[in-house]
Every structure is written in C-alpha cells, then in structure tokens.
Chain A
Amino acid sequence: MSENAASNAPVNEIDIEITPELVAEHGLKPEEYEKILELLGREPTFTELGIFSAMWNEHCSYKSSKKWLRTLPTEAPWVIQGPGENAGAIDIGDNQAIVFKMESHNHPSYIEPYQGAATGVGGILRDVFTMGARPIAAANSLRFGSPEHWKTRHLVSGVVAGIAGYGNCFGVPTVCGEVNFHARYDGNILVNAFAAGLAQADRIFYSKAKGVGLPVVYIGAKTGRDGIHGATMASAEFGEDVEEKRPTVQVGDPFTEKCLLEACMELFENDCVIAIQDMGAAGLTSSAVEMGAKGNLGIELNLDAVPQREEGMTAYEMMLSESQERMLLILKPEKRKLAEQILRKWELDFSIVGKTTDNLRFKVFHKGRLVADLPIKELGDQAPEYDRPWVEPKVQPPLKPEDVPAPADYNDALLRMISCPDLCSKRWVYEQYDYLVQANTAQIPGGDAAVMRVHENGKAIAISCDVTPRYVEADPFEGGKQAVAECYRNLSAVGAEPKAITDNLNFGNPERPEIMGQFVRAVQGLGEACRVLDFPVVSGNVSLYNETNGRAILPTPTVAGVGVLPDWRQMATIAFKREGDILMLIGGHGTQLGQSIFLREVLGREEGAPPPVDLAREKKHGAFIRRLIRDGVTDTVHDISDGGLAVAVAEMAMASGLGASVDTLPPGSPHVALFAEDQARYVIAIAPERLEQVMMAAAEKDIPAAPIGRVEGDRLKLGEVIDLSVAELKEAHERWLPEYMEAEL
C-alpha cells in the first residue's frame, strides 16, 4: 500500500452522512461520539464509526463492569494466565496446563436458537485452542423461560441441538451443565458455554503482538456478511422487533472449526506463531485491535487480501463481519512457507492481510484507499469506562422455619420436587451430547462434577457449573458467594482440589441503578468467596442488557470451576455402591427454607432470604470431604443443594438403584430437616467399620458429622414420613423433560 494514501485522511467508501441517528443506531451515546470527535479531531468515516461501535460496545469493552471486575482475586501460585487473554490458564503439574473459559451467547440464541448456541460453542472452543490448548471438555449452563411460555420448547430444542451439532462434530465431549427454567427468562434465555483444553504449560500462546513489520496473517474460513453488528446487538435490550435481528446471528461450521483446530495445533508444534487471536465478537476489528493494543504496536490491514465469501463487500462489512472459524495471527516470517503448507493441507485459507507497525495507529486500506486511521490504544485497552450509579439492592428478610408449614403428603412433596423442571433428570438433554469422544470421560453427566482423565498416570480434572439465580435475586451478595461455594462443593464432592473458576455474569441493564446494584453486590460476593476459598477467577465474560421490554432476567452470575485429582481412580460418585453402607450427614441438619425448592415447588412461594454462606465452614468441610475421598474412606459423596437432604439422598438412590433408610432426624417437624438448603453440607456413604474413624476425624476438626441411616433394599425411607420405591422415584425423575419436549404445541 502506498505511503501517499497513508498520509491522507481516510476516505468514506459510502456516501453517507454521520447523523445523530446513525450514531445512535451504532449503539454509541452522544457523549461517546463527542469523545470520538475529540480523539480524531475530525468526523469519523462510516467504516470508522462501525469500528468504534464494535470496540466500544459493552460486550467488547466491559465499560460498565471493568471497575468491579478489577476487584476479583485473580492470582494464585498455580495461575499461569488470569483474565484479559482469550482464556485463563492454570498449572496442573507435569508441565501440563488447563486453559478454560466460559462465555455467553444469550441474545443470538434467543433469536436463532440452533445457530446461536452452536456458534457460542464454536467461539469458546476457539478461545481455548487459540492459546495452544486442545479442547478436552465442554460444558454449558442454560436458562430458559417458564415451560408454559409459548417459545420455551422451541428454544430448548434448538439450543440443545445447536450445542450438540457443533460440539459433537468438532469432537469435544460435552460433559456437564445446568438446565433451569424460570419465567424471568421468558424473553431472554441464557446460553453460557464453557470449554477447557489441555496445553503444554511452557507452550501457551497469547494475543499480544511482538515485533514491528511482521506479517499479520488471516487463516480459516472466508469472510461473509453474516453477523454484522453481532456484538452491538449483544449489548442492547430486546424490544418487540427482536425477530428482525435474525440476520445478525452467525452461522457455524463445526467441520471447518475442527480443521482449524488441527491446523493451529500444527502451526504451534512447528513454532510458526508469535501471537494469535481468534475472530470472535467484532471479528477482524477486534482481533486486530487487541493484538496491536496489547503489544503496544500499530496494525495496518489491507482488506483486498481478506478471503471473501461474497462479492462487493465494503470495508465496513468486512471489519464488522462475525463470520465464524477465523483466526488472525502474527507469523514468524521465516515460517511462511511451512504455515501455508499446513493451511493448504487442511484446505483452509491463508492470507497475509497486513503488518505490525510502530505508530500505534490502526489503519485499514481497501482498494488502495485508506478507509480508517484510528488510535489503537483508545480503541482497545483504553476504551471508555463508566462508574455507573448503583443502589444497594433490597434484600429479602429471613424466613423463620416455623412460618413454613409441613406438606400434607411428604411422598407427594418429594416426588414433585425431583420431577420439577429444575430438578428432574436432564437425560433428554445430555444424551444429545457426545460426552464420550476422546475416551477420557471418567464421570459422565448426572453427578456432582464431570471428571476427565488428562494424563496417562491417571491425573484428572473435574468441572462443575453452578449458580442459584433465585438466591442471587433475593440477596445478590450471599447469592454471589453461594455460586462459588456450590461449585467448590461439587468439585470437592468428586474428590478434586478446586483450583480456579471462570465466571459468566449475566445481568440486566446496567444503566438502571438497581440492576447495577445487583451486579456490584454479586461481584463482591463472588470475590469474597474466591478469596476465602483460594479459588481465583482466571477468565470470564459479562453479559448485560438481558432484558426484554424493560424486564430483567434473574441476576445470574454463572460460575464454572476446575479442580484437579491426582488419580481419577480415587474419585467419588453420587451413586450408592453397597448395601449396608452407613449414610452420614456432614455439616449438620439445616433450618433454612427461604428460597428453597420445597417452598417454591410444594408451597408455591418464592420468598425469604437464601441460606447464608459461611465460607470458612465451606473451606473446612470441603477439605474434610476431599481428605476422606483421597484416603479411600469413602467413594460415595453428594453435596446438599437444591431440595435439601431429601433430594440429595433420593438422587444417590436413583443413580444406583439401591434404596436407603434415614432414621435419625432431629426432633420437630421433619420437613425442615429434609428440605432445608443450608450450605456447606454433604451426604456420604461409608463402610460401617469406618464410622468411628470418620466421627473422630470430624470431632477433631469440629465438623458436625453424624450417621443418619444406611444403604439398603430398593426403597427410600426418610424418617416416618417418606417411603417410596427407588423405581417410582426414578420414573418420576425421568419423566418430565421428555414428556414436555414431545408434547404437541
């Protein structure tokens, strides 16, 4: 490209006037546009306006959330990479690292559930393999509207098929997740996709560009007109016109992504890459700006060299396209031939589309003309930031146990709980996911956490996704703590040392102080839990503006945690193993029925404070459980969460087919002990001769532990009040979802 062109001001490719309306359509506030004028000392071109809109939207810039995200703990001796890269990375020994992240694809999945969810999976997989890690596990956290809402069935069907269609073809096992329903997600579902990959700890790749005059290379699929302005859409509330947004949803091609993965792995093995960034939200714009801004370098792009799928694309369209399965990288110049060969082998495009410069400008050329010339730092890591006003959220008052009546029929109550949409078996969902490919799945969906072998010596990682939005709504701070604590418990319950989390913070419109208040307090709760539990945040994503017609979703800060087991053979599962085992309750009986599943499903009430989270107890009890598993004292553990003790024991019975009798309940009305959702508690099963040992170990650490019954027969008997066959429980547990999905509209 000619030096002459570069010295001139950029030209407008399209004859269009930059009006306040056009600025607003690009999601930019008047004061943000003022800042653009000030930065440039002139009016932006249409292409430049598009670039600003892509970089300064909430989705890419985190402008409302950054201030609070900085308060999260992100460090530990085992953290290799914290937030700010494509994904986080932790050291798991033997020169191995786990690279992981969770990201939302909420808005696109509501508009076009199959492609929206599929490309959500594609995006998170790229985030992981961009860093040199081969994806070994996928997970997801899904929240749909009320089952009665006319669109819910269609959305469940499409989202699940989309996740399956992408992940199965790509060849990553989808091993765990959450599926919940609530009317507050009626117009705005949540699709949070997680991926973890395995990398060599000393060979992780980053997006920070290094070196001047080096080739910027485009690899992968061609650029089309799909997904233009996707990131801007993801930063807006939905109104009645939501269906018209379908063209902004991208289309996924998992086969190309699989080829791109293999090509990238070969590029990494052959030491071809200096820096690499996937083209996700805001595509070419965001990837180029991030690489340059992070490396304190300028980037010059020549769009004529961009592989194009359609004819006559403008610079504006190419810069904003969110076509999938593309990567941008800074290549070691001496490896050019080899890199080209690798991409040719995988039948993917390879094109040198620009170079790094030393002037901190982001310059874009098209058809020989300069069409954008912008300061790269201000576009990227120095984008605007807001300290949004917020108000202290209203917290629900505690609910006294004596204000919650016992159910008329306990058997019926338990059956209703285990068959309700939130607690019923999710087999209909997970059997559509290939959870076995790669042959390393040690624990399949349905338990407390997935367990994946990562090393020939037996080392494994565990993964769990958690959050209880009704708790967060009732008390954002405690709810934030609880999300982390439950994840910590789930990992502990399989015997894994909890190492780090990724978070996916889904909230409403941050410009409303009460929503911002939920956000701030939930993040503070998350942060406190992570600090106390030594469970840092290494990556994450924020999804705001989850509202339809002014109604916000339940605040949903999803947490996905990773833990490590030295040997998968030492893991525990929730299924009972042997008749005659003693059931023990660790953490004591509960009294908290506020926001419980019992209250909602049986009494039809959604009220009260959520169970408070005592983080010191969580830490102590978690360590105790892990010790018992590691020492071979127990192989049967389940944490107590939704539905309380009764549901926990029922799930253990259903997973095994064996029954249990719980004969020691505290005095008083049994519904409190059976259904309370107090935290930091587990049920374990042990051989009778281990009882004394466990009791002593617990007493030594001042941990409440008591035998409450035994594994026996094929019936579940809880106190004097519940007596059901395991077969009957299973039937109820398995029935709801398939029946719902197969029902006529």
Chain B
Amino acid sequence: MQSVVVLFPGINREHDMIRALEIASGRKPHVAWHTDTALPKGVDLVVIPGGFSYGDYLRAGAIAARSPIMRAVIAAAEKGVKVLGVCNGFQILTEAHLLPGALMRNAGLKFVCRTVRLRVENDSTFFTNRLKKGDILPCPVAHHDGNYYADEETLKRLEGEGRVVFRYAEGTNPNGSVNDIAGVMNERGNVIGMMPHPEDRVEALHGGDECLPLFLSIVEEVAA
C-alpha cells in the first residue's frame, strides 16, 4: 500500500493518523504539503487528517479546499484513487465538493471531545470491509463543527444508495447531525469522510483497539 497524508498549516492530528496507518500496514505513509502540486507517484490512498487548517478562520476546511494540493487530490479521486478525510479532512472534502453536504457548528455550540458509539452502516467500503453492518465501535470525537447537514434530496440519495457509512448510535450523536450521520461516501465509493477519530482508538493505550479493523480494511482493499 502506498499512502500519502496531506498536510496543510494548522493540521494537528497527522501524527495520530500516520501512527494508525503504520500500525495497520507496517509502512510509513508519504507526506504531501499544501503547496505541492502533485501527489507522490503510485499513491493508492490519500488521507487528510484532522486539525484546524489555516486556523479554520473562514469556514472549517474552506481555505484548504482551495489550496494547490487539493487540485491534485481531486484529480486523483476522479481517477478512482481512494481518499479518506477525518474531521477537518471531512470538512475539507465537503468544501472541495468531493463529498456532499456540509459540516455546521455543533448543535450545542461548544467543542466536544468524548467517546461516542459508532455504528457501521455499510460494510462493503474500502474502510469497513473487515467489519459487519450493525457493528458498534467506541470511537472518540473532537470537533467544534461536526453537525452534518444535507438537503432533503441529497439525504434521500445518500440513504437510498447506502452511502451513509457510519452513524452515531445509542443516542450518542454529539453534534446534532441529521439522521445521526457520522460518515459518508461519494457515489463511486472511493471517497469517504467522517467526523470521529478512529485513529485515536487503535491500541490498548487508547482504551481499546476497536477501530483498528478500519485501517486493516484499507490495507486489505488497497493491497488487493
């Protein structure tokens, strides 16, 4: 597997993500910088980690979505390269229109860091194939703008086409997301975005490694 972690100034969960990818694959991912205009050759997975790109001083993810490297990411996604965005990465992917919908300020208006229950809704994606639909994983969230919203029509399509990948379960929706949506994918199924941080639940130190299978899914999928 050749993966690349894309960095913008203000991203701050890249170490967590790089570590999770390393634990799962045994390989260190490449790193791309926001001013780069191309991704490393032969990359089959692009990951945009969490943080506050450019301070999120406009809308979360809005500035990053317009940076030079994102043109390369969009082109790669169009060719079918797999793209995963977590937290700020998810916000950037919606701002770049690689994923539908938007992430608004949390319904409680405050930043929230806690472990929620995450239900796998689609188990045939590149990030969930090692799990079963209905599996419930403890997984932390840490965000201020995670309130997922999409218009009626988009929602209907997302739900109808099985493109809701994760949902907050058991009443743990931390941010007011519509339909308890925690993660979605694009039509083609090669771009996934989610607000929770599975990379912070992959070893005993984190209180458990329940989210490690997600990363193992990628390894399997991409190697195949």
A residues near B (Cβ < 8 Å) are 161, 164-165, 168-171, 253-256, 258-259, 262, 346-347, 430-442, 453, 568-569
Asked if B52 and A169 make an inter-chain contact with CB atoms under 8 angstroms apart, the answer reads yes
Residues of B within 8 A of A434 (CB): 111, 113, 142
Q: A258 touching B19 by the CB < 8 A rule?
A: no
Residues of A close to B112: CB separation below 8 A: 431-432
Contact present for B9 and A347 (CB under 8 Å): yes
B197 contacts the other chain (Cβ, under 8 Å)? yes
Question: What residues of chain B lie closer than 8 Å to A437, measured between beta carbons?
Answer: 12-13, 16, 50, 142, 200
Partner of A171, one of B51, B113, B144: B51
Contact code string B3-24 (vs A, CB < 8 Å = 1, else 0): 0000001101101100110000
Contact in complex: A436, B200 (CB < 8 Å): yes
- Is the C-beta of B134 less than 8 angstroms from some C-beta in chain A? no
What residues on A are CB-neighbors of B140 within 8 Å? 436
Q: Is B132 an interface residue (CB 8 A)?
A: no
State whether the Cβ of B114 lies closer than 8 Å to any Cβ in chain A: yes
Binds A, one of B54-62, B93-101, B163-171: B54-62
A742's nearest neighbour on chain B, judged by CB, is: B108
22 examples of A-B residue contacts, CB within 8 angstroms = A164-B110, A168-B142, A168-B144, A169-B55, A171-B12, A171-B13, A171-B52, A256-B55, A347-B9, A434-B111, A436-B142, A436-B197, A437-B200, A438-B15, A439-B15, A439-B19, A439-B200, A439-B206, A441-B205, A441-B206, A442-B205, A568-B205
Q: Identify A453's interface contact among B20, B57, B114, B205, CB under 8 A.
A: B205
Q: How far is the CA of A346 from the CA of B54 in the complex (A)?
A: 11
Query: Is B224 an interface position by the 8 A CB rule?
Result: no
Residues of A within 8 A of B15 (CB): 438-439
Q: Which residues of B contact A (CB under 8 A)?
A: 9-10, 12-13, 15-16, 19-20, 50-52, 54-57, 110-114, 140, 142, 144, 197, 199-200, 204-206
Other-chain residue from A253, A438, A568 in contact with B55 (beta carbon distance below 8 A): A253
A-B contact count (CB 8 A): 83
Contacts of A254 in B (CB 8 A): 52, 55
Closest A residue to B9 by CB, please name it.
A259
Other-chain contact of A258, B12, B57, B144, B205 (Cβ < 8 Å): B12
Assess whether B9 is in contact with A255, with CB atoms less than 8 Å apart.
Answer: yes
Q: Is A255's CB under 8 angstroms from B110's CB?
A: no
Residues of B contacting A441 in the complex (Cβ-Cβ under 8 angstroms): 205-206
Q: Which residue of B lies closest to A170 (CB)?
A: B12
Contact B9 A161 (CB under 8 A): no
Cβ B199 vs Cβ A255 within 8 A = no
| Of the residues A259, A436, A453, contact of B10 by C-beta under 8 Å | A259
Point out the residues of chain A lying under 8 angstroms from B55, CB to CB: 169, 253-256
* Residue pair B111, A168 in contact (C-beta under 8 Å): yes
Which of A253, A255, A256, A436 has a CB less than 8 Å from the CB of B113?
A436
- Residues of the A chain whose Cβ atoms lie less than 8 Å from the Cβ of B204: 569
Name which of B51, B111, B140, B199 has the most chain A CB atoms within 10 A of its CB: B111
Give min CB distance, B158 to chain A, whole Å: 28
Complex Cα gap A346–B10 (Å): 10
A253 to B56, alpha carbons, bound, how many Å?
11
Q: A437-B16, A453-B205 are in contact. Are A255 and B142 (CB under 8 A)?
A: no
Given the interface pairs A169-B55, A453-B205, the reply to whether A164 lies near B12 with Cβ below 8 Å is: no
B54 close to A431 (CB less than 8 A): no
For A168, list chain B residues within 8 Å (CB).
52, 111, 113, 142, 144
